[in-house]
Each structure stands twice: as C-alpha cells, then as structure tokens.
A and B are shown apart, each in its own frame.
Chain A
Amino acid sequence: MSKSVMCERYCAAIRRWRLLDVTAFLVLVLLSLAPAPVSADDGHRLRVMTQNLYVGSFFQELTAAKTPQEIIAAATLTYQNILATRPAERAVVIADKIADLRPDFVGLEQAAILRTGTVAPATTVTFDLLQSLLQQLAARGVRYEAVAVKPGLDAEVPTALGFNARITLRDALIVRADLLEQGQVKLSNLQIRQYIAASVDTEGYSSIDVTWRGRQFRFVTTHFALASLAPAQALELVQTAANTTLPVVLVCDCNANPDNPADPIFQNFAAYLLLKNAGFVDVFRTARPNDPGFTFGQAENLLNVTSTMSRRIDLVQFRGPFTIEDVQVVNASPADRERLGLWPSDHAGVVATLTLRSSAGTD
C-alpha cells in the first residue's frame, strides 16, 4: 500500500480527530468563560446547606420499653442498630458531598455522640459525628469551624453488654474556615437557645449575625420537634431569632411538610405556616415548583435498596433581599450510598445558592 493511499484512508480520520479535538477544546474554553452554575467561590453567591446526619436509630424500642429488663434489652438493640448504620463511614460520604459543594454555612442536625462507660456518666467516645465530619472535611482540604453547638437529648441507659450507652444529640452550625480566616465572613451576636416547649430532645436554635462581603444577615438553624410542640417552637423562633430587621436565612429539619398540610406523620404544617406568615420564603418550592424534592426518609437501618424518600421536611428559607441562584437535594441518590449500600442518612441534605442584594444598593 502506497503512502498516498494510506493517507487517503487515514489522514481524513486524523483530520476529523483533530477537528474534534479543536471543537472539544473550544467547548472547554467556552464552558470556562460561561458563568459556572455551581461555583461556591463566586464572590457574590452565598451557599448554605442543611443536613440531618442521623444518629442511626428511631428509638422506637426504647420509647416502648416499660420494665427495667425491657429497657436494657431495648438499649442493647438501639446501641447495636446505631453501630450497624456505620456512622463514621456515613460521615465520610457526607464530607465528600460538602467538600464538593463547599457551602459557606452548614446547619447540621443530629450531630450525635455515642459514648459508653461502666459508670454514669459514660465518657468513652464510640463516635462523634461532628468531630468525624470536621476531620474528614479537613482531610479533603476544606476546613470548617463549628461556631455554634446546641446540646439536645442526652440519655444514658444500661445495656446487656456490660456497659451503659450514652446518646447525645446536638445541632451545630459550621462555617468554612477560610472565609473566617480571610475576613470575608465576620460573626457576631451568637445565640444558642432552647425552646420552652420542648421534648426530651430539648429542641432549640442557634443564631449568628453574619457580615458577609460587606452585607449583613442573620443565619439561623433549628430542628423542630416531631410532635405537636413544633408550632409553639416556630412561634418562639419568629418572636426571637427571626425578630430582627436583618435579612434572615433559616435552615432546618422542620419536621413539617409544606407540601402536604394533611401529612399524617409530619402534622406540623402550622409550624411551617407560622414561618410563611412571618415572611419566610421556601427556597426549594419557589425555585422548583414541580419537583417533589423529598428529603425524608430512608429506612431506619439505611439498607433499603430503593430510595424511600417521600416527604420534604428539611428546608432552606429566607426573608429579605435574597435571590435564588440554585437549590438542590443531595445525599439521596443511589450513587451516594456508601460501599456497603448504606444511605448516608435517613434525610437528604438541601443546598441552596443565594445572592444577597446590598442594602446600600452598591456592589
């Protein structure tokens, strides 16, 4: 075969490849020039997230136990079930997601500690979801600082395993450390409060005033009770943390379903309504009116093969001159399951990207 014949046969192919290369290169260039749809580091975008980390149990056996023997048996089961949900590995998956999206502020619910000991108080830490998450994030080069920790349920129960198990639930607010260190975010007026109407989980809120690239707003994270207490809690929130002229971003595990006032399990629509009537905008529903956006819930053992999400109870809301750039539900797709097939949490996370107009009208 002559060289020219070879060229006839192949050179066209090579030229086509080169053309494809060039096209691909051009596409890349164009992509890089276009505004990045999900860049958290754009100076004007504020990215916030809420994620219930899930302690690993619904505690039904414990609340049903009556006699001391039943309590011991139930506590043993609860302890083993919690460990079976592999909290440390789940924190790795959630850290991956947070590191990818690099939200500025993250509200965490059920950032639990499990401790054991032979004598109360048990202090041998089996896992600490907040510390695990912060360490995993730091290992990915995306350091966060906890700026608020709100203690919740703290219960120690004897098990049949020869030691007590102590379960401590907490909510927390974490902020990207680089923003604090570079002075792009300044924080003041920290408030960590419990609601007066509260379950054994002593629900409450954390609130902090943020100066962010010259703008001011208040960031609030809360976790309402599952039971009928939520409307009273929402009322207290409206009268306290949300009683401000500052713009407010509110993230929550609200245990209230805004999309179904008659939800038979999450009967807290009144709590949602209180917030709505106080001027709060439900980011997900506003930006994506036809997308269910379910955030709850997977099976208690997190081993359900197909997602069983059926309700939207984890919300990002705001009041004030914010604009919604983007909102997404995360940690709820099959690809997010960790290697043994566990979902990262029984809740999905919600990540919203907002812009905040300067009150002075500049910038």
Chain B
Amino acid sequence: MPNSIDRTIIALGDLGKAVAIAFLALAACIAAPPPAMAQDNSDGGIRLVTQNMYVGTSFAPLSAAQTPGQLLAAVALIYNNIVASKPAERAAAMAREIAQHRPDLVALQEATILRTGTGVGPATTVRSDFVQSLLDELAGLGQRYSAVAILPGLDAQAPSALGFNVRITNQDAILVRSDLLGGAIKVSNLQIEQFGIKLSSPTLVGPLSDPRGWAAIDVNVRGSKFRFVTTHLDSVSPAIRIAQAGELLRTAANTSLPVIMAGDFNIGAHTSLDPSFPAYQAIINAGFTDAWQSKRAPDPGFTCCQAENLLNPTSLLNERIDLVLFRGGFGVADISLIGNQQADRTTSGLWPSDHAGVAATLRLPSRQAGNQ
C-alpha cells in the first residue's frame, strides 16, 4: 500500500509540474526570457547549484593595521571595497545564472550581510544582504525560493574612518524551490553545526575568529531520500581546513543515507600539490565521487578566483575549489560552470563573484524498498 500512496503523490506532483510547465511556457511566450533550460525536476534528477557569492573584499588590511588610525582606515577601506563590488547588482547577476538552471536546491557561501550604525549599539542598518537580494531577484524572475538553512559565521563590527561603524556578517545557506517545498521535495532533519577548529586572526583589538561549519537537510524527492550538505572550509590555513574536512566527514557525512555535499571546499581538487589535498583525498576515500571529475575530466573546470575588485577584463579562474561531491548511487547527468563567461559580467563590468558557480543535475539513487 505504501507504494500506491507514493504513486498518488507522484501523480499529483506531476500534475503540479505540468501546471508549472504550462505557466513557464506561457511566461516564455509573453516575456520571452532566455530559453528555459529547466526541465523542472521531472527527469528523475535533482538539480542543484553551489555558489560562493563573495563578500566583496579581502580582510588583509585588518590584520595589517598596527595603530588605531590604521584600523579605522582599514575598516573604511573594507567597507568601500564591499560597496564598490555592488552586492545588489551582483546578486541580480547570480540570480539570472541560477534562474537559467532552475535548481531544486541551492547552496550559498559568503552570503554576507553588510550593516552600518553609529554609537555604541549594534549596527543594524542593512546596506546589503545577499540572501535577501538573491531571493528577491529570483522572485522577480518568477522563481521563488525559500531559505531552509542558514549557518551564521563570522560576525564583526568595528568603527571606521567614515564616521560610522561597519558590521560584516557571514552566512552560508541552503535554498529550496518554494513551489516544490513540502510537495515534490520534502525536507527534514535540519542540522547546523560549527566546526570545533576555526581560524583566529590577531588584530589590533584582539583575535578575530572565523567560525566555519556546515548546514544539512535530509531531502526526499519522489521517494528517494538523501542528505544535502553545504560547507565553506577555512580559506587561510590548510591545517585548519584539513581538520574541518575531517569533522565534516565524521558528522554531516556520518549517515547511511546517500549524501550530496556542495560547497566551497577551498581545496584545489585539480592538483595534488595543494597543501590541503589530503582533505580532498580523505573525502574521496570516504566513498565520495567528485561530480566534475567523473563527468568532465580532463576539463579543468576552474571555479576561482577573479580579482579582488572583480574588474579583471579577462577571467582569472585557475583553481577548482567549489565542488559537488556525492556518495550512494547518484549519477551525473550534467555539470557545468555558471557566472564565468564574459556575457555574465554585470553592466558595471563586474564578475558576479570571484567564484564561478557550479550547476549540476544528478540522477537520483534508485528508490530502495521501504525508503519513503
């Protein structure tokens, strides 16, 4: 009987999809957007995107500041860098890239909030908010998504030479297509954890720690259940990165469910010369398949990094550190990079992020008996 119930749900889901497709077709006739690549999750696959949105600055000036005056100037520089990187404009560009792929699941890293304030209180005037901007832009394209997981990361506030305080809040997030959430895609077992080992950088006003971690949901798509994990491993220290990858495997990936991990691993998967390559090897040894490697090798598939100001005329991507890894019966139907073409740059000439996104369609593991 469970099977027949499943079939009913599937049938209803398909009806929903048919309606959605009809709407999409209608919208295409009216607005003539770029040809819809989206197949709308009816081909037995799961569509996903991972994208590091890029905060918009390096933090090197902070650590370099030696006097209070230099600190104020460094914070001002960081603030100006972020504003000059036009987060809202870039969020719109990333939304266009994501919308073309029409993913079921989106993993975001460096989905930063920039806030300002005066006085001694918390800075709460929002200058840019990547998650909110991206969701709004996607909704503007007729594609509504819901954030179902948010992992808070670094959250720091400091006075600047600009006369106000600057606050930078880092987040990773998982988005799910709203129209499928609770219907064709069921989400459960939200987990959000910070790693036990994290980078701590000395600054004039004391150590600044950069907590990283992972967020995971268990996803049920048409009777196939798997865990979807995103993470952003430390970007500075290979030793810390290796420890974090180890913890990731012993926590998020410690399940008998099939697992997809999509994120910014900061490990050069393209070269064993990367000092944190042992962490990549450990992930592979834990039974994971590198989706890009399995489908696209020897295409290097570089995902990082454009210039800090995102204004480099020619793409500078030369590392593959944004990865889609899976274990447990998935197949790679398709995998490609997004946001890495000249045409993807914003009207201001900015690359959407210093990272390319990775868009993949994975075939689901065949449904097991009893796996509802």
Contacts and interface: CB of A to CB of B under 8 A. Distances in A.
A190 B150 contact: yes
B285 interface: no
B313 to A, nearest CB: 38
B250 interface: yes
Majority DSSP secondary structure for residues of A touching B: strand
A319 B91 CA distance: 33
Q: Lowest 9 A-B CB distances belong to which pairs?
A: A121-B196, A236-B122, A239-B124, A149-B192, A123-B250, A192-B150, A196-B122, A151-B194, A196-B157
A45 interface: no
B251 A123 contact: yes
A148 B167 CA distance: 23
Contacts of A190: 146-150
Contact of B192 (A121, A151, A166, A194): A151
B121 A235 contact: yes
B12 to A, nearest CB: 13
Contacts of A194: 152, 155, 169
Contacts of B213: 151
Interface centre among A147, A150, A183, A190 (most CB of B within 10 A): A190
Interface of A: 120-123, 145-151, 154, 156, 166, 168, 170, 177, 180-181, 183, 186-197, 202, 204, 232, 235-236, 239-240, 243
Interface string B179-190: 000100000111
B197 interface: yes
B152 A151 contact: yes
21 contacts: A146-B190, A146-B191, A147-B190, A149-B190, A149-B192, A151-B152, A151-B193, A170-B192, A177-B188, A180-B182, A190-B147, A190-B148, A192-B151, A193-B152, A194-B169, A196-B123, A196-B155, A202-B152, A236-B122, A239-B124, A240-B124
B195 interface: yes
Contacts of A240: 124
- What size tier do the contact residues of chain B reach? 35 or more
Nearest to A177: B188
Nearest to B244: A121
A28 to B, nearest CB: 36
Interface string B140-179: 0000001111111001110000000001010000000010
A93 to B, nearest CB: 23
A180 B167 CA distance: 35
A232 B120 CA distance: 9
Nearest to A236: B122
B197 A121 contact: yes
A155 to B, nearest CB: 9
Given A120-B196, A154-B194, A196-B157, A181 B182 contact: yes
Contacts of A170: 192
A188 B190 contact: no
Contacts of A123: 196, 247, 250-251, 254
Nearest to B122: A236
B216 to A, nearest CB: 10
A188 B182 CA distance: 12
Contacts of A121: 195-197, 243, 246-247
Nearest to B132: A189
Nearest to A170: B192
Contacts of A188: 146, 178
Most buried by A among B122, B149, B167, B213: B122
Given A121-B195, A123-B247, A150-B152, 15 more contacts: A121-B243, A122-B196, A123-B251, A151-B152, A151-B192, A154-B194, A156-B196, A188-B146, A190-B149, A190-B150, A193-B152, A196-B167, A202-B152, A235-B121, A236-B124
Contacts of B190: 145-149
Contacts of B247: 121, 123
Nearest to A183: B182
A209 B201 CA distance: 36
A181 B188 CA distance: 11
A180 B246 CA distance: 34
A239 B152 contact: no
A120 B191 contact: no
A177 B122 CA distance: 35
Nearest to A187: B146
A195 B190 CA distance: 22
Nearest to B123: A196
Contacts of B182: 180-181, 183, 186
B54 to A, nearest CB: 21
A219 to B, nearest CB: 15
A196 B122 CA distance: 6
Contacts of B251: 123
A121 B244 CA distance: 8
A215 B151 CA distance: 28
Nearest to B150: A192
B33 to A, nearest CB: 25
A239 to B, nearest CB: 4
Contacts of A232: 121-122
A101 to B, nearest CB: 23
Contact of B150 (A145, A181, A191): A191
A244 B340 CA distance: 38
Nearest to A233: B122
B92 to A, nearest CB: 20
A139 B98 CA distance: 40
B228 to A, nearest CB: 15
